[in-house]
Structure 1
Amino acid sequence: MVTTLAEASKRFVAELNNLLGREVRVVLHNGEIYRGVLHAVDNQLNIVLANATNNAGEKYQRVFIMYRYIVHIDSAEKRVDLREFAKHAEKIFPGMVKYVEETNTVLIGDKVRVSEIGVEGVGPVAERAKRLLEEWLKAQGLA
């Protein structure tokens, strides 16, 4: 499979968006490390962390970090791979389930989206998907 630069860029943005609202660890060029909730990102990749602490134990309500100082960002939370959930959901919703690898989401029909954050959508399919996700997470030891 050939991936174009545009597709790769789209995947990068999707991965970064998946981290919004989650706890991350940010390592800077000078060796400082900040942990906090990724609150905002701009188009240059400057970031804002909420409820952050640095490696010296200092606490900050908000930390603004310019992109040029960032060595890397990683999730401090365990990531749930929804690929297996998609296989499980296919048994309940045959022919209606699609797993989207780039964003680690499951689409059920055309109105329900399941992500690590939860289930988006309304109606009977969304309600069943919510119960199914809760059951699956418990069975996996993730809830």
Structure 2
Amino acid sequence: MARTEEGVLMSMSGGLASRSFFKELTSSLDLEVQVITTDDKVFTGILKGYDPTSLSICLEKGKLQDGTKFDKIFLYGQYIKYLMPTEKLIDLRPLVERLTRLFPAGGVKYIEDTRTIIVMDKVKVTPKGVEGSGAIAKRVKEIYDQYMSEISQGESL
């Protein structure tokens, strides 16, 4: 029985580790990454997708180390040695807290996997900006701009 419990615990922790790994990889979607292959070629581009089974990836709007540009490239996971985000991941949770204080309960939803905030089912906020129109979008954009300004000032200190 103890072995079974250990096996269950090992299985659960393995599943947790796997979920955590893919959560981290997913958080790099739409960010610029640098990929080094097993033959030491260096690719830089926007990570658009990945296959969780093979760890193959799709990069867009990128270039090779020699300067050759590409619109889209698929790299087979077996040949990837390293994948590193080159952009800083912006933590939107403090922004979610600010917005939650300003809008009615349930009016602000945060989708952590995609790093997306939805305000009043009308405005979408991502690290790239604010999408929407009207008074709500205008107010959200003001708060977003202030938050991003504070982040960039904090980095320069």
Range with bigger deviation, 41-50 or 90-99: 41-50
Note the C-alpha offset of 1:88: 1.3
| 1:141 corresponds to | 152
In structure 2, the partner of 1:99 is 110
Q: Distance in 1 between matches of 2:27 and 2:91?
A: 16
Structure number, greater radius of gyration? 2
The alignment-based identity, stated in percent, is 29
More deviation in 31-40 or 87-96?
Answer: 31-40
Q: How many aligned residue pairs are there? A: 137
Q: Which residue of the other structure, out of 37, 58, 71, is the alignment partner of 1:28?
A: 37
Deviation digits for residues 25-73 of structure 1 (CA, Å, limit 9, x no counterpart):
112123332222336667865444423132xx34333544223212342
Amino acid of the structure 2 residue aligned with 1:88: R
Whichever residue aligns with residue 119 of structure 1, its letter is V
Distance 2:103 2:25 in 1: 27
Work out whether 1:84 is the aligned partner of 2:89: no
Q: Distance in 2 between matches of 1:65 and 1:18?
A: 16
Structure 1: unaligned runs, 5 residues or longer: none
Aligned to 1:130: 141
RMSD of aligned C-alpha atoms? 3.3
Kindly indicate whether the alpha-carbon contact (under 8 Å) linking 2:23 and 2:113 is maintained by their aligned counterparts in 1. Answer: no
Contact 2:26–2:114 under 8 Å retained in 1: no
Is the 1:14–1:103 Cα contact (8 Å) retained in structure 2? no
Structure 1: which 4+ aligned runs deviate by more than 4 Å? 39-46
* Greater displacement, 68-77 / 34-43: 34-43
Secondary structure of 1:25's match? strand
| TM-score, structure 2 as length reference | 0.65
User: Which secondary structure does the structure 1 equivalent of 2:81 belong to?
Assistant: strand
Where does residue 38 of structure 1 map in the other structure? 47
Q: Which runs of 5+ in 2 are unaligned?
A: 1-11
Q: Deviation of residue 79 (structure 1)?
A: 1.0
SS in 2 for 1:71: strand
Alpha-carbon distance in 2 for matches of 1:125, 1:23: 30
> Which deviations, in whole Å up to 9, do the C-alpha atoms of 1:65-110 show, x marking residues without a partner?
2232123422110110000111111222242222222222222122
